[in-house]
């Protein structure tokens, strides 16, 4: 390729910090920069441990490549272990041709990986069909099919996958179980719902239904606190997904894994497994009104 670089096939992993803006606001620039630098160092060490190569870091993300897709998968799996990384993240993992030019990489595979990372939820790693096709049956068994999605700038749809929860329960988006037994194109045969528990109340939301959370008396779940907006958030179930639609100015703290709580504000996130929703305040704060949620398969 001469001056234009060399084309290689590689597994591309892009990992991005979740909630960097609130972090800078809460602890200040210097402390936030130090924490993100520590996070980046831990991540780069993990990449090297699995035979990968750090490529670049732009802002709060880390881009790396691996010759071996299985090694990239193992690195991604270890990232999910509790306390491996000091700050919550979301990530994308893909295998394809890239152009290696000097110390950087370019090409469609890099762009697709970035788009996977962008749509991943906090703590989630989205993996492309191309990468999954190169994994062993044992590795595939720890993944679940999410959906066919149309990624911006890509013609046609792309199959994406994510890790199953550690307790082996199905993630909210997962349409099917073991990849080795059922093709990814099949239509889901099971429905999903979610149960919310707050202050002695228990309400359920089934497929094609919606629940509202807020201070207003017309909400499905009323939380009468000054810091809770009148219509703070909505929980909706559709097409095998349970989504939290955040509408407030103060934000909502969401936890889907012990010790990892993420602030979301005026955005949509997918709820996975079980966890907590705390409008306006961290769940550990005095006065916090914590809603417990649990995804159920019907």
Q: How many domains are there within the chain?
A: 2
- Domain of 235, CATH number, reads 2.60.200.20
272-295 residue pLDDT tens: 889 999 999 999 999 999 999 998
pLDDT, greater one: 27 or 111: 111
On whether residue 184 sits in a domain, the answer given is no
Predicted local confidence at residue 44, as pLDDT: 95
- Domain of 24, CATH number, reads 3.30.70.1230
Q: Is 198's pLDDT higher than 60? A: yes
On whether residue 179 sits in a domain, the answer given is no
Predicted local confidence at residue 151, as pLDDT: 63
Band of residue 152 on the pLDDT scale cut at 50, 70, 90: low
CA 14 – CA 11 distance, rounded (Å): 10
Q: Are residues 13 and 136 in the same domain?
A: yes
On whether residue 169 sits in a domain, the answer given is no
156-187 residue pLDDT tens: 678 889 887 643 333 433 333 333 333 333 33
Nearest partner of 65 among 42, 83, 47, 77, judged by Cα: 47
User: According to the per-residue pLDDT averaged within each range, which of 13-27, 94-108, 258-272, 284-298 is highest?
Assistant: 94-108
Nearest partner of 246 among 280, 295, 195, 274, judged by Cα: 280
Range of the domain at 10: 2-163
Q: Are residues 143 and 200 in the same domain?
A: no
On whether residue 211 sits in a domain, the answer given is yes
The mean per-residue pLDDT over the stretch 126-148 comes to 90
Could you give the percent of the chain with pLDDT greater than 70?
A: 85
The mean per-residue pLDDT over the stretch 198-217 comes to 91
Q: Are residues 147 and 254 in the same domain?
A: no
Q: Are residues 197 and 159 in the same domain?
A: no
The pair phi, psi for residue 157, each rounded to 5°, is -105, 165
Q: Are residues 225 and 276 in the same domain?
A: yes
On whether residue 228 sits in a domain, the answer given is yes
On whether residue 176 sits in a domain, the answer given is no
Regarding pTM above 0.75, the answer is: no
On whether residue 56 sits in a domain, the answer given is yes
């Amino acid at each position: 390729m001469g001056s234009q670089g060399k084309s290689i096939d590689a597994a591309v992993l892009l990992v991005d910090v979740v909630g960097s803006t609130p972090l800078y606001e809460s602890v200040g620039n210097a402390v936030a920069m130090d924490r993100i630098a520590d996070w980046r160092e831990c991540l780069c060490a993990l990449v090297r441990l699995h035979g990968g190569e750090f490529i670049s870091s732009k802002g709060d993300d880390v881009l790396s490549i691996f010759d071996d897709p299985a090694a990239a998968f193992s690195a991604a799996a270890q990232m999910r272990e509790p306390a491996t990384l000091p700050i919550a993240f979301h990530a994308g993992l893909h295998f394809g041709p890239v152009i290696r030019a000097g110390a950087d990489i370019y090409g469609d595979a890099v762009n697709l990986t970035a788009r996977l990372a962008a749509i991943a939820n906090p703590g989630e790693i989205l993996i492309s069909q191309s990468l999954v096709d190169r994994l062993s049956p044992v590795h595939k068994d720890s993944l679940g099919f999410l959906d066919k999605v149309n990624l911006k700038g890509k013609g046609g749809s792309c199959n994406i996958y994510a890790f199953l929860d550690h307790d082996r329960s199905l993630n909210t988006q997962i349409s099917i179980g073991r990849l080795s037994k059922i093709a990814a194109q099949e239509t889901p045969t099971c429905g999903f719902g979610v149960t919310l528990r707050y202050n002695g109340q228990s309400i359920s939301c089934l497929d094609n239904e919606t629940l509202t959370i807020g201070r207003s008396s017309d909400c499905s779940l009323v939380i009468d606190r000054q810091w809770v907006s009148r219509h703070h958030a909505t929980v909706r179930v559709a097409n095998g997904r349970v989504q939290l639609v955040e509408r407030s100015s103060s934000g909502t703290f969401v936890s889907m894994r012990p010790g990892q709580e993420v602030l979301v504000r005026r955005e949509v996130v997918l709820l996975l497994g079980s966890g907590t929703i705390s409008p306006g305040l961290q769940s550990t704060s005095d006065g916090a009104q914590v809603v417990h949620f649990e995804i159920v398969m019907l």
